[in-house]
Copies of this chain bind each other. A is one copy, B any other.
Amino acid sequence: MTNVALIGYGYWGPNLARNLHELPNCRLQVCCDLDEGRLALAQTRFPHIRVTTRFDDVLQDGDIQAVVIATPARTHFALTKAALRAGKHVLVEKPLAMSSQEALELIDVAREAQRVLMVGHTFEYNPAVLKIKELLKDNQLGDIYYAYSTRVNLGRVQRDLNALWSIAPHDISILLFLLEEMPVEVSARGASHLDRSIEDVVFVDFLFPGGVTAHVHVSWLDPSKVRRMTIVGSKKMVVYDDLETEGKVKVYDKGVLKVGDGQIFGEFQYRLHTGDIYIPKIDMSEPLRNECAHFLECIEKQKQPQTDGASGLRVIKVLEAAQESLRRRGAPVEIS
């Protein structure tokens, strides 16, 4: 049984609280937020827990072994660092921090403190993403050509973070998880329609070492909610629509076949192939519950989390490069 404190009961905190509360090997003991109104709400839902506005009290509470941080992104670094130094295991929402410098420091602090540092890249605990990973492992798609993702909605206009930093970490973590390599080059374009200084629409292109490309579209200024990723392989193609209830993952037996040997005029002919579509059954477990359970398991068994500090760092390195390209209006930026 791990005693946990939840830091931040804003937009995402209630989801974490619900899952932490229901996990059998977890005791949600404290909820901390600067906003008294939010604390009152937490108290109503969970009459048996303590609520506080003082983060330091949580750090000094010897009963608390782990903290889960769901505060604004710009506070992640300081809160995580303090918690690790106070000997707490930490699960922090994405992005891990606001720079790779900060991320590196957190990795060091966690190692020294011998505590679990885990980032909330939720989609790596999503059964649909895990099913796609399985398809890739089995080489069912053939060579991967490219992937693209759209994650848009009307909602949650951020004031301190652009759409790249607030939404794209999801897509980037999925891409790195599935492709198992870092992109070598990134190009990004964005626009700030509501607020001069904060991009509310961002498009990012990725080039991976082996020639795979990817594209991500994120925005909080869209009429419809879309969360869809397409992966195009030489043998099969996958569409992952997170909002579908009946067919989250569709595997298309579709492709383009090269015909001929290319010796005449160096040219190939192409033939389209269209076959069956297959919708694998996806485990219905809630990704966030799986994520929380994984955090607890890593604490109990002293394991390295799937989405550890290094994972958080990788995502931030990509975000930094994309941010630099954004500044240069799409010019390609290399990632070392």
Contact = CB atoms under 8 A, between A and B. Distances in A.
B281 A276 contact: yes
Given A45-B22, A205-B203, A329-B332, A277 B195 contact: no
Interface in A12-27: 21-22
B223 A268 contact: no
Chain A to chain B: the 4 pairs with minimum beta-carbon distance, closest first: A187-B330, A223-B237, A277-B279, A145-B193
B221 A246 contact: no
Interface stretch (A108-116, A251-259, A307-315): A251-259
Contacts of A254: 154, 223
A223 B329 CA distance: 30
15 contacts: A47-B47, A148-B217, A157-B256, A157-B272, A193-B213, A222-B237, A223-B230, A223-B250, A223-B252, A224-B246, A246-B277, A275-B281, A276-B278, A276-B279, A330-B331
Interface of A is mostly: strand
Contacts of A281: 253, 274-276
A278 B279 contact: yes
Contacts of A238: 223
Interface residues of A, number: 67
A301 interface: no
Contacts of A22: 44-45
B325 A270 contact: no
A267 B247 CA distance: 35
B232 A223 contact: yes
B45 A48 contact: no
B215 A272 contact: no
A239 interface: yes
Contact of A187 (B145, B189, B211, B239): B189
Contacts of A21: 45
